[in-house]
Amino acid sequence: MLKISRYVLYDIIRNKIVIAYTAFLFIVSISLFSMEENSSKAMLSLLNIVMIVIPLVSLMFSTIHWYNSYEFIELMLTQPISRKKVILSEYAGVSGSLMTAILIGIGLPVMIYNFNDTGIAMLLIACLLSLIFTSIAFFAAVNSKDKARGIGIALMLWFYFVLIFDGLVLMILFTFSDYPLEDLTLILSSLNPVDLGRIYIMLHMDVSALMGYTGALYKDFFGGAFGMLYTLGILGFWAAVPLLLAVRSFKKKDL
Amino acid sequence: MIRIENINKNFKKLQALSEVNAEFTSGQVVALIGPNGSGKTTLIKSILSLVKPDSGNIFFNNLPIKNEVSYRNYIGYMPQIGKYPDNMKIGQLFSMIRNLRAADKKPDEEVFYKFKLDTLKDKAMRGLSGGTRQKVSAALAFLFDPQVLILDEPTAGLDPLSSEMLKAKVLEQKQKGKLVLVTSHVLSDLEELATDVMYLQDGKVVFNKTLASLQEETGEQKLSKAIAYIMKKDQQKKELSYLKIAK
């Protein structure tokens, strides 16, 4: 499996997009940290960028890469290599390179300017989001043979997770604002890895004090060891399930 | 060596294979023929499990190939249209495949050198002509000296010289007692190679006979004429039955 991943990685490095992505993340992080006097303020700005850019790049890059390496995949399958191995090696190669980009592009600046538990939480969530959205992208790409459709589905998913979902949550909160909704918001946030990740990081920041009663409840829930396990568990679930579904449909697919 | 039992495959509404049964043993060179879209490539891809049949079983050395991978160690496959990673060079492609297979046997590079692919090592796959692509496919198929060779339209797009070279290589494999499955529309090519003929139409096996018995039955020495004879007889039968209905 590692052998195949090596060729996937080699291919990704050659097309230089991931290198550009690393540079972009690095420049954004460094400039945010050097513009803001207060490094925790810079962390907040960085958080907002990370939450939009990482899902988008992971989804788009992984879907397009899947379609572009279709020939490679087909070639592998004429060799004595199982389908599971082929798709998991692809996944390891793509998600590995995206995580490396994050660890260099965001990790280095964070380590220099803001090396504390908030910084570590941010890196952890950023890496997990890459894994999650790569896995969702694989699911979308494996299930649609048509390239335009696959990329379209990936884009729609991004809109959903980053924009539409928040709107829906706000709508629910406003409609039912007369009722106690604290527990419901907890459940709702688990339905979207981006939201869950954001809440998790924000609770490591001082701004959580400004979030009112719900913030206090969140702090109570997510602040403890159980909250941390819960967050990581749900995020792990979000990464594993689409990937498993993708593996399953890939095994049945005709090439 | 390969046994196919009641294979069915539908692509949406199109029935690509229907109740296909066949058995191939080593030493045979089976010519798979049939009109375009008759299911030849689908059958080949099912043997490689690139296409998953809806029902039925395929056995390789008496073991079902479902969820099995290692049997592909013994198959060399030359696809109809070779698709390779665009930004890889010919040399890289071969070293990658050899690295992945890590075979203990010395690879058979005769085809590779005969097609002069060693002089094209630094050429990227994206810029290759159809013929050169075909040569790459052939060299890959023969590389690990497999027991079974599956060649899908091997001579399409090859120049006469290369095509002769490939035929000679297949003959050599035949003498070594290997199983070769080959499809082609150039019947004269097949005539020199085949020991058996399997004719497919609309996903069904029309006949699967040895070349000798086919020649005897039809009284024709040439494969093309023998096939034409059978197709004509088939047509006549159909027309007769239509006439009967009409009357």
A126-176: pLDDT as tens digits: 999 999 999 999 999 999 989 999 999 999 999 999 999 989 988 988 888
pLDDT digit string, tens, across residues B167-212 = 999 999 999 999 999 998 888 888 888 899 999 988 899 888 888 8
- Distance (Å) from the alpha carbon of A27 to chain B's nearest alpha carbon: 29
Q: Which residue of A has its CA nearest to B144?
A: A79
Using the structure block, give the residue that is written with the tokens 């497999």: B146
Whether residues B51 and A255 touch (CB distance < 8 A) is answered with yes
On the CB side of A111, CA atoms within 13 Å amount to 10
The reported pLDDT for the residue numbered A161 is: 94
Q: Which residues of chain A have pLDDT under 50?
A: none
Please, what is the angle between helix A212-223 and helix A193-202, to 10°? Answer: 90
B140, B142, B145, B150 alpha-carbon torsion, rounded to 10°:
100
Q: Which residue of A has its CA nearest to B51?
A: A254
Q: What amino acid is encoded at A137 in this protein?
A: A
Report yes or no: A77 at the B interface, CB cutoff 8 Å: yes
Whether residues B85 and A11 touch (CB distance < 8 A) is answered with yes
Q: Which residue of A has its CA nearest to B86?
A: A71
Backbone angles phi and psi of B129, in degrees to 5: -75, 165
For A129-142, give the DSSP string. HHHHHHHHHHHHHH
DSSP structure class, residue B54: S
Q: Regarding predicted confidence, which is higher, A210 or B97? A: B97
Interface with chain B: mutation pick from A11, A68, A75, highest number of B CBs within 10 Å: A75
Report yes or no: A73 at the B interface, CB cutoff 8 Å: no
Q: Regarding predicted confidence, which is higher, B83 or A243? A: A243
Task: Report the mean per-residue pLDDT for chain B.
Answer: 88
Q: What is the rounded average pLDDT of the residues B109-116? A: 90
- SS3 of B178, please? coil
How far apart are alpha carbons B119 and A52 in whole angstroms? 49
Q: What is the rounded average pLDDT of the residues B68-82? A: 90
Q: Which two tokens stand for residue B140?
A: 């890959």
How far apart are alpha carbons B186 and B172 in whole angstroms? 20
Q: Which residue of B has its CA nearest to A81?
A: B69
Q: Regarding predicted confidence, which is higher, B17 or A2? A: B17
Q: How many CB atoms lie within 10 A of CB A212?
A: 10
Using the structure block, give the residue that is written with the tokens 């039925």: B56
Q: How many CB atoms lie within 10 A of CB B113?
A: 11
The reported pLDDT for the residue numbered A208 is: 64
How far apart are alpha carbons A77 and B69 in whole angstroms? 9
Rg (CA), chain A: 19
**Alpha helices (H) along chain A:** 2-15, 17-35, 39-68, 70-78, 83-102, 108-113, 117-142, 147-159, 165-175, 182-190, 193-202, 212-223, 225-252
Contacts of A70 in chain B (CB under 8 A): 83
Whether residues A74 and B83 touch (CB distance < 8 A) is answered with yes
The reported pLDDT for the residue numbered B147 is: 92
